[in-house]
Structure 1
Amino acid sequence: MVTIIKTEFMKLKRYFIVWIGVSLMLLTVLLTLFTTMADDGMVWDYQFLFEQVVKHFVTMIFPMCITLISGYMISREYTDDTLKNIETLPISFRKLLAGKLIVSAILSLFLGIVCFVFTVIANFIMGYDGFALIPALTGLVQMALLGFFLYLTMLPIIVLTSRYKGSFLVGVIVAFVYGFIGMFANGTLQSIYPVSAALGLINYRAGAEGVMWNKGLCFISILIMCAIGIALMFVKQKPEKREAKKTQHTAPKKGW
């Protein structure tokens, strides 16, 4: 498994998809800064900026982003026509998929950190007050863990769409809708819906006092999604139907 993971990281050096992920993290921060143009009387500081970035990170960008990256990594085995060569080795597709998913989990932590770095840079560029070392370190841990928890909630979509050639883009659309719906979850539903439950595990407050999360429900919600994703890995994939080649029989010539 270690060899598979190392190989996947070597493959990533040839792919541009990681840079797309970094660009999407930058887009998350830029989208948040765009909302500062609204004249709604809000006083922006570092903490408020961070909380707004987290909101866009969860509901609009990251679910789509990590599904895109993970799906692309898996689909390259189909598009590069390397899967049939791998099948000749003593490595099952399930083990190969597990290695790719572990790499995706590491990337989810990395992209969370990247988004946090962009947030801090944006804070200094905009000149907002309230930045301090301890809250910043707390935010760094929260953003990294948030990326990982969101990845676990997307695991069933990633695994399911990886079973079919060229279907990962469908998974990206589903992940976007899945994350966007989390914007409307409130009350107890926030702790049950997997995407918003990830916020509960990092103790997200959204600038409001007295926000209560049911950490038990949040943990169970994400654990169920992770278990479903792992279970799908062990479901035997149906072999693709191949059209039988029709043999053409030439009619015997008449006469001499």
Structure 2
Amino acid sequence: MFRIIKAEFLKLKRFHILLIGLIGMTLPAILSVFTQAVATPEGTTQNFGFSALFNSTIWNSATIFMPVIFTLLGGYLINREYTDNTLKIIFPVPVSFQRLLFGKLLTIGILSLLFGFYSYTVTLVIGLLYGLSGLNAGILFTGFLQMLGISLFTYIAILPIIAFTSRKPGIYMGGVIVAFLFGYSAMFIKNVTLRSLYPILSGLAVMRFDTGTFMNTSEPENFTLSLLSLTAMLLLSIIIVTLIKPSQAATKRKKAKAAGLFQRRSL
């Protein structure tokens, strides 16, 4: 498994999709500052400092940017095995399709944490450039912990989408659309039980992130229900990967490759 993860990171250096991910993870902090700058006096956050900037960036990341970026990256990495016809080379190694998928999904999980750290750094830099006040060790530590935690839990929340769309080549873009709607819809859920169970919001609840400012609610989510929701998403993803099989086209290419090798050896 370690070799698969290492190979995936080596591949990432050649893919421009990584640059798209970095640009995308820069936008939440920029959007937070921009929204504050153009909002009406009634809509602005009073005493907008580093604490408010980190909170706004985390909220924008979890509900808009992270679901799309993580699904796009995960789907793209898996889809490349189809488009580059590398499955016919990988299968005879032999490496099972499930093991390959687990390796890719673990890679994206690690990458999500790295993106979380990157977003944390960008938020800190933008806050300093914007001249915000209120920076202290407590805010730095809380922002760092919540940003990494939200990155991981948001990835777990959309993991079944990535796993399911890996069944066939080319359908991962549909998964990106579903992930966007999945994240964006979280902003309209007011019921406390539904908020606790909704996977995108479950990660925020587990990290003790206060959603009241952004959702106009006062009752906090249920920590236990949120943890169970994320656990269910993780287990569902494992089941999907375990039961999944490569597309029929990929299987045919694999058989054709094996037949070609047999014929050459016979000659």
- The answer to whether TM tops 0.5 is yes
**Could you say which residue in structure 2 is the equivalent of 1:164?**
168
**1:64 and 1:175 in contact (8 A); partners too:** yes
Across the aligned residues of Structure 1 and Structure 2, the Cα RMSD in angstroms comes to 1.7
State percent identity of aligned pairs: 36
Q: Which runs of 5+ in 1 are unaligned?
A: 243-256
Alignment counterpart, residue 53 of structure 2, candidates 12, 34, 49: 49
How far does residue 32 in structure 1 lie from its aligned partner after superposition?
A: 1.4
Q: Distance in 1 between matches of 2:29 and 2:78?
A: 28
**1:52 and 1:206 in contact (8 A); partners too:** no
C-alpha deviations, 1:22-45, integer Å up to 9, x for none?
100111111112211212343211
How far does residue 237 in structure 1 lie from its aligned partner after superposition?
A: 2.7
Q: Which has the larger radius of gyration?
A: 1
Alignment of 1:38-77 (within 5 A): 38-41=39-42, 42-43=45-46, 44-77=48-81
- How many residues get paired? 242
C-alpha deviations, 1:47-82, integer Å up to 9, x for none?
111111111111111001000001111111111111
How far does residue 236 in structure 1 lie from its aligned partner after superposition?
A: 4.2
Instruction: Mark the CA change 1:88 to 1:195 in structure 2 (over 3 Å): closer, same or farther.
Output: same
C-alpha deviations, 1:128-172, integer Å up to 9, x for none?
111112221221111011110011111110000011111111110
Alignment of 1:120-131 (within 5 A): 120-131=124-135
How far does residue 212 in structure 1 lie from its aligned partner after superposition?
A: 2.2
Alignment of 1:180-219 (within 5 A): 180-186=184-190, 187-206=192-211, 212-219=220-227
Instruction: Mark the CA change 1:148 to 1:79 in structure 2 (over 3 Å): closer, same or farther.
Output: same
Give the residue type in structure 1 aligned to 2:41.
D
**Could you say which residue in structure 1 is the equivalent of 2:232?**
224
Instruction: Mark the CA change 1:190 to 1:207 in structure 2 (over 3 Å): closer, same or farther.
Output: closer
Q: Distance in 2 between matches of 1:192 and 1:3?
A: 36
Q: Distance in 1 between matches of 2:211 and 2:189?
A: 14
Bigger share in helix: 2
How far does residue 11 in structure 1 lie from its aligned partner after superposition?
A: 0.7
Give the residue type in structure 2 aligned to 1:160.
F
Instruction: Mark the CA change 1:239 to 1:59 in structure 2 (over 3 Å): closer, same or farther.
Output: closer
- Range with bigger deviation, 170-179 or 15-24: 15-24
Q: Distance in 2 between matches of 1:145 and 1:189?
A: 21
How far does residue 239 in structure 1 lie from its aligned partner after superposition?
A: 5.3
Q: Which runs of 5+ in 2 are unaligned?
A: 253-267
**Could you say which residue in structure 2 is the equivalent of 1:249?**
none
Alignment of 1:1-256 (within 5 A): 1-36=1-36, 37-41=38-42, 42-43=45-46, 44-186=48-190, 187-206=192-211, 212-237=220-245, 240=248
Instruction: Mark the CA change 1:67 to 1:236 in structure 2 (over 3 Å): closer, same or farther.
Output: closer
Q: Distance in 2 between matches of 1:17 and 1:239?
A: 23
